[in-house]
Chain A
Amino acid sequence: MASTDIIIGIVGSGGDGVITAGEFIVSAVSSEGLFSFMLKSYGAQIRGGESSCRVRISEQPVQSQGDEIDVLVNFSWADFLKFEHEVELREGTVILYDEDDPMPEDQVAKYAALQAVTYAIPFKRLAKERTQTILTKNVIMLGVLAELFGLPARGIRHAIARKFAAKPGVVEKNIDAFAIGQEWVKENLEKRDPFRLDYTPGEPKLVMEGNAATALGAVVAGCRFYAGYPITPAGEVMVWMAKHLPAIGGTMVQCEDEISAAGMVVGAAFGGAKAMCATSGPGLSLKSEMLGLASIAEVPIVIVDVQRGGPSTGIPTKTEQSDLMHAIYGSHGDSPRVVIAPTDVEDCFDTAVQAFDIAEEFQIPVILLSDQFIAQRKETVRPFDVSRRAVYERVKPGKAELNDYKRYRLDTETGVSPMAVPGMPGGQYPASGIEHSEAGDPTSRVDMHSALTEKRYRKYQHIIDKYSFVRTYGDEDAEVGILGWGSSKGAIKETVLRLQAEGRKVHCMIPQLLHPFPKEAFDRFLAGKKILVVVELNYRGMFLQFIRSRCDIKQKIVHYGRTGGKPFSVREIYDVVREVL
C-alpha cells in the first residue's frame, strides 16, 4: 500500500535523541517539498526522563497531527507506557523496538489484538559495535525507517550534515550510522507491513515553530525592542530575539521578572519603539497591572501569551486554551485591550504583524493568544512574503497641533489622539496611569473619567471594522456549524474536509480577532444554523460563555470542551460532529 499521509511516533528516554530524529525527518521531507507536522511531548524532567514526538508526513498540506500512529519507534517500553494516553496506535500499526528491550509479557495480548506488525531491531548493538557509541542510535533508526518506509534518504543526510556542520567528524559518523541502518534492513529484514511513503518531490519548503514565526512576524512589523523573562512554553521567542535583534539594530533585554519585562516594553513603546514581550499564563497574571497602565496611558504594546495547562504552574510543557478570560478581562478597571489568536504556525507570523498594526494604529495593548501546541510544534510552511505590505505607524501630532498639544484629545472620531514621542519639540506631556485631562494632567473629575473612558473604548468599533478577520470553511448554508478558535482550527478544519469528502454539509468559523468581539461576523455565521458545535481546549467553556454574552443564540448548542495537555485529534471532533450530523 502506498501512503501519501503517514504518521510516525518515536518514544524514548532523554538521550535517545528522539526529538532530534523527529526534526531530521521534518527537515528531510520539507526539503523534498512534502508537508509535515511534528509534535513533541516531554515529562517534567529537565534532562533525561521520557520524551516522545510524532511526525505526520503528507503530500498535501496537513492541518493537524492526525489521528492514530501508523509507525511507532519504541526505544523503551517503560517510557512508552507513560505516553500511552498521548500515543494512540491504529489497527495494524507497525512497532519497531530495540531487541534489548523486548515487549513486556503483559502487553503482548494487547498488540496482538491490534494486529500490530512488530520488528525487533538491534539499534543499540549496531550503534555500539559499528560506531563505538550509542549516541548514533537515533540516526541508525532513521536509516531503518528510510529503508523500510521510503523516507527521503537524501534529505535526511542533508539534515544531518546541516545540524552537525560545525563538527566535521560528527557529520561523517552520523552519515555512516544512517547507512548502517539502511543496510541492516536490506540484509536482515523481511518487510511484513504495508506502509511505504509514495510521493513526487517538489520545491523545498520552510520548517518553523510557532514561537519563531511569532518573533519573525514581530520584527517584520518593525519590532526592535524585546524584553522577556524565561518561561515555558514561550522561551523560544526570547531566544530567537536574542539571536537576531542585535544584528538588525534592536535590543533584547532579559529582565529580572515578568513585571519588569512588561514595564520595559511600556517604556520603549512610550519612547516610540515597537516593543513586545512574550510569556505564558503565570507571567500574564503578573503583567496585568502593566496591561492596565498601557490601556489608560494609551501606549501601544504587544504581549504574547503562549498558553499552557493552568492554573498556577499547571502543566507548563503542554497546551491548553484556558487563558481566554484572563486575556480579555484580566485587569482591574475598564481596561480596553485587543486579543487575537493565531491558528497555526504560519498564522503566528501573520498575527504578530497584525498585533503591531493594531497596537500602533489604535494605541492600545494587544495580546497575542498563542498556545504551546502551535508555539512548539514544527510545521512545514510554504515560503511566504516577508516584505511588508504596509507598515502602520502611530499617528503623531503635526506642527500646528503642537502649539497647544493635548495628548489625550477627546474630539477624534476613532478615539485615537496623536501621540508625541520623546525628542519631538513641543510634544512634552505627562502620560499617566492616573486618570487625566486631555493635556495629561491628573484629575479625579468624574466627567473626565467618563469622557476619557468612552474615548478609549471608542477605538473598539473601528478595530472591529478594520480587523474582523474570521476564517470559514465548508458550506455556508449548512445547518450544523462548528465554532472554535486558536490552535483548535487544525482538527476542526480537517474534520470539515473529511465530512465534506463524505458528502455531508457542515460549516465552521474560526475568528482571529476575539476581542473586541466581531459580532457581525458571528451573527452572519449563526444565521440559518440549527445546531452549533463549540470546540475549545478548556474545561469551563470560556469561549462558549464569551459568545453567549455577546450573541443571542437560539441554536441547539453542543459544547465540546475538555482540559488540555493533549491537543484535539480529528477523530475526536469528527465523532462529536457526527453525533448531530
Chain B
Amino acid sequence: MAVDAPKQHTTADYRRDLKPVWCSGCGNYGVLNSIYRALTELDIPPHDVGIISGIGCSSRLPGYINVYGMNAVHGRALPIAQGLKLARPEITVLAVGGDGDGLSIGMGHFPHAARRNVDMTYIMMDNRIYGLTKGQLSPTTPKGDVTVTSPFRSIDTPMDPVKLAVAFDTSFVARGFAGNLKHLTEMVVQAIQHPGFSFVHVLSPCPTFRGMDEFKRIRDLIRVVEVPAAELGSRDAAFAREDADPGAINLGVLYKSPRPHYGEEAQHLRDVSRAGLDHEPTMQELLQEFMP
C-alpha cells in the first residue's frame, strides 16, 4: 500500500451532500465512514468507483457517497455489480447491502459471485433485523429473539455469513465492526486491494430495533484476530476458529483462497479464441460463417 505518497483526495471528495435516512446511533454511519476512509487511503478518484446496493436501510448507502452508485433491486446488488465490473474492469466496484438483502432474498447470488470470483468487494452490513420494514426477524437474528414477526420468540436458526463465505470458497473473507472504525477501514482497504471477490461481514448494530445496548453487547464479544498466513487458506481452521468460542466474535481477515479472478480468465479466453488470427474478426468475417 502506497501510504507514503501524497494523496490526491481527501475524505471530503467522497462525501455527498445528502443526509442519510439512518436513525441516530445506526452502525451504518460507521460503515459509510470506513468506505470514505478506505477510498481516501487508496486514493481512488471518485469517478472511478461504482457502488451498487440492493434494498434495505444499508442499501441506501450509495446515495451518500460521491461515486457512481446504484440503489437497485432487493437482493440483486451482486449481479449488477459483477456486470459493471466485467464491462468496465478499470472501475473499482463495491456491492453493499444488509443481511436480509444478501442472505435471504438475494442469497442465490452469493455462492455464484464467490465461485465466479469477479474482482470486486462485497460489504454486508449485518444488523440482524429488517430495519426499513420495521423490525422483522432476519436470517441472522439469534434464535429465541423476539421481533414483530416472532412475537413469542424466533424459532429459526440463524446463519453465519462468514462460515457461509468460507464454505463458498470466497477468495477473501473478513469481518469488521461498525464500532471499530480503524479496524473496519483496514478490512475494507484490504478487501478492495484483494484481486478477486472479497467479502467483508460487518456487524452494524440497529439501535432502533435491536436496542440501544447492541453496540456494547457486540463490543464485549469481539476479539481482533491475526490469522497466521499459513492458516489463512484452510477452511477447517476457519470453521474451527468460528466455532471455538460461541461467546466470541472474530474480527480480522479470516480466510483467503487466492486464484485468478474472472476478468483474468475472461482475458485468457479472448486470447485463446484469437489464437492463429492476426486481427480481431470483422463483422463481415462473422457473417461468412453462415456461408454454406
Binding site for B on A (CB under 8 A): 26-28, 30-31, 155, 158-159, 162, 204-208, 212, 216, 219-220, 224-225, 227, 243-244, 246-249, 251, 253, 255-257, 259-273, 275, 289-290, 292-293, 297, 381, 383-384, 386-388, 420-434, 440-442
Contact of B91 among A262, A265, A271 (CB under 8 A): A271
30 intermolecular pairs with C-beta atoms under 8 Å apart: A30-B292, A212-B290, A227-B83, A246-B270, A253-B116, A256-B109, A259-B79, A259-B108, A260-B78, A260-B109, A263-B79, A263-B83, A263-B109, A267-B52, A267-B79, A268-B87, A270-B68, A270-B70, A270-B83, A270-B84, A292-B73, A383-B287, A421-B88, A422-B50, A422-B68, A426-B47, A428-B46, A429-B68, A442-B21, A442-B71
Contact of A225 among B50, B87, B91, B274 (CB under 8 A): B87
- For the complex of A and B, the 10 pairs showing the least CB-CB separation, nearest first, are A267-B83, A263-B79, A264-B83, A268-B87, A267-B80, A273-B87, A256-B112, A267-B84, A260-B79, A27-B292
From 34 to 62 in chain B, residues with beta carbon under 8 angstroms from any chain A beta carbon are 45-50, 52, 55, 60, 62
Contact of B68 among A158, A204, A428 (CB under 8 A): A428
B83 lies within 8 A of A289 (CB)? no
Contact of B82 among A155, A264, A292, A442 (CB under 8 A): A264
Complex Cα gap A31–B109 (Å): 47
Complex Cα gap A162–B68 (Å): 50
The stretch of B96-104, B205-213, B275-283 in contact with A is B275-283
Determine how close the nearest CB of chain B comes to the CB of A385; give it in whole angstroms: 9
Which of B45, B82, B86, B269: most chain A Cβ within 10 A? Answer: B86
B47 lies within 8 A of A424 (CB)? yes
> How many residue pairs at the A-B interface have CB separations less than 8 Å?
208
What chain A residues lie within 8 Å of B73 (beta carbons)? 263, 289-290, 292-293, 433
A422 lies within 8 A of B47 (CB)? yes
Known: A271-B50, A430-B71. A255 touches B79 (CB 8 A): yes
Known: A267-B81, A271-B87, A441-B18. A386 touches B286 (CB 8 A): yes
Known: A265-B83, A270-B84. A431 touches B69 (CB 8 A): yes
B86 lies within 8 A of A386 (CB)? no
Determine how close the nearest CB of chain B comes to the CB of A436; give it in whole angstroms: 9
A423 lies within 8 A of B70 (CB)? no
What chain B residues lie within 8 Å of A259 (beta carbons)? 76, 79, 108
Complex Cα gap A128–B82 (Å): 54
Contact of A273 among B88, B272, B291 (CB under 8 A): B88
B67 within 8 Å of A by Cβ? yes
From 215 to 248 in chain B, residues with beta carbon under 8 angstroms from any chain A beta carbon are none
Known: A204-B292, A206-B287, A247-B277. A434 touches B71 (CB 8 A): yes
B133 within 8 Å of A by Cβ? no
Contact of B281 among A155, A244, A264, A384 (CB under 8 A): A244
What chain A residues lie within 8 Å of B50 (beta carbons)? 270-271, 422
B63 within 8 Å of A by Cβ? yes
From 107 to 123 in chain B, residues with beta carbon under 8 angstroms from any chain A beta carbon are 108-109, 111-112, 116
Known: A253-B86, A271-B50. A387 touches B283 (CB 8 A): yes
Determine how close the nearest CB of chain B comes to the CB of A493; give it in whole angstroms: 23
Contact of A249 among B55, B79, B90, B280 (CB under 8 A): B280
Q: Which partner residue on chain B sits nearest A425 by CB separation?
A: B47
Complex Cα gap A26–B270 (Å): 32
What chain B residues lie within 8 Å of A265 (beta carbons)? 83
Complex Cα gap A28–B291 (Å): 11
Q: Which partner residue on chain A sits nearest B270 by CB separation?
A: A246
Q: Which partner residue on chain A sits nearest B46 by CB separation?
A: A428
Complex Cα gap A271–B184 (Å): 28
B70 lies within 8 A of A430 (CB)? yes
B277 lies within 8 A of A28 (CB)? no
Q: Which partner residue on chain B sits nearest A299 by CB separation?
A: B70
SS of A interface (majority) = mixed
What chain B residues lie within 8 Å of A255 (beta carbons)? 79, 112
Known: A155-B292, A207-B290. A247 touches B281 (CB 8 A): yes
B interface residues, how many (CB within 8 angstroms): 57
B70 lies within 8 A of A268 (CB)? no
B66 within 8 Å of A by Cβ? yes
Determine how close the nearest CB of chain A comes to the CB of B202; give it in whole angstroms: 21
Contact of A248 among B82, B108, B280 (CB under 8 A): B280
In addition to A248-B280, A253-B86, A429-B69, 18 A-B residue pairs with Cβ atoms within 8 Å of each other are A155-B292, A205-B292, A206-B291, A207-B290, A225-B87, A247-B273, A248-B281, A260-B109, A263-B83, A264-B82, A264-B83, A268-B84, A270-B80, A271-B83, A423-B91, A432-B70, A433-B73, A442-B60
B84 lies within 8 A of A216 (CB)? no
What chain A residues lie within 8 Å of B45 (beta carbons)? 425
B87 lies within 8 A of A208 (CB)? no
Complex Cα gap A571–B72 (Å): 50
What chain B residues lie within 8 Å of A205 (beta carbons)? 292
Determine how close the nearest CB of chain A comes to the CB of B258; give it in whole angstroms: 22
Determine how close the nearest CB of chain B comes to the CB of A445; give it in whole angstroms: 14
Complex Cα gap A255–B72 (Å): 18
Determine how close the nearest CB of chain B comes to the CB of A380; give it in whole angstroms: 9
What chain B residues lie within 8 Å of A263 (beta carbons)? 72-73, 76, 78-80, 83, 109
Q: Which partner residue on chain B sits nearest A289 by CB separation?
A: B73
Complex Cα gap A141–B209 (Å): 75
Which of B71, B79, B86: most chain A Cβ within 10 A? Answer: B79
A159 lies within 8 A of B292 (CB)? yes
B68 lies within 8 A of A206 (CB)? no
Determine how close the nearest CB of chain A comes to the CB of B14; give it in whole angstroms: 10
Q: Which partner residue on chain B sits nearest A207 by CB separation?
A: B292
Known: A227-B83, A249-B280. A428 touches B47 (CB 8 A): yes
Q: Which partner residue on chain B sits nearest A209 by CB separation?
A: B290
What chain B residues lie within 8 Å of A442 (beta carbons)? 21, 60, 63, 71
Complex Cα gap A530–B111 (Å): 61
Q: Which partner residue on chain A sits nearest B116 by CB separation?
A: A253
What chain B residues lie within 8 Å of A427 (beta carbons)? 47, 68
Q: Which partner residue on chain A sits nearest B55 by CB separation?
A: A433
What chain A residues lie within 8 Å of B116 (beta carbons)? 253
Which of A204, A244, A264, A384: most chain B Cβ within 10 A? Answer: A264
Known: A204-B291, A256-B109. A423 touches B69 (CB 8 A): no
A266 lies within 8 A of B72 (CB)? yes
Q: Which partner residue on chain B sits nearest A380 by CB separation?
A: B292
Contact of A432 among B71, B76, B78 (CB under 8 A): B71
Complex Cα gap A158–B81 (Å): 48
Complex Cα gap A503–B74 (Å): 60
B266 within 8 Å of A by Cβ? yes
What chain B residues lie within 8 Å of A430 (beta carbons)? 16, 62-63, 69-71
Which of B85, B87, B108: most chain A Cβ within 10 A? Answer: B87
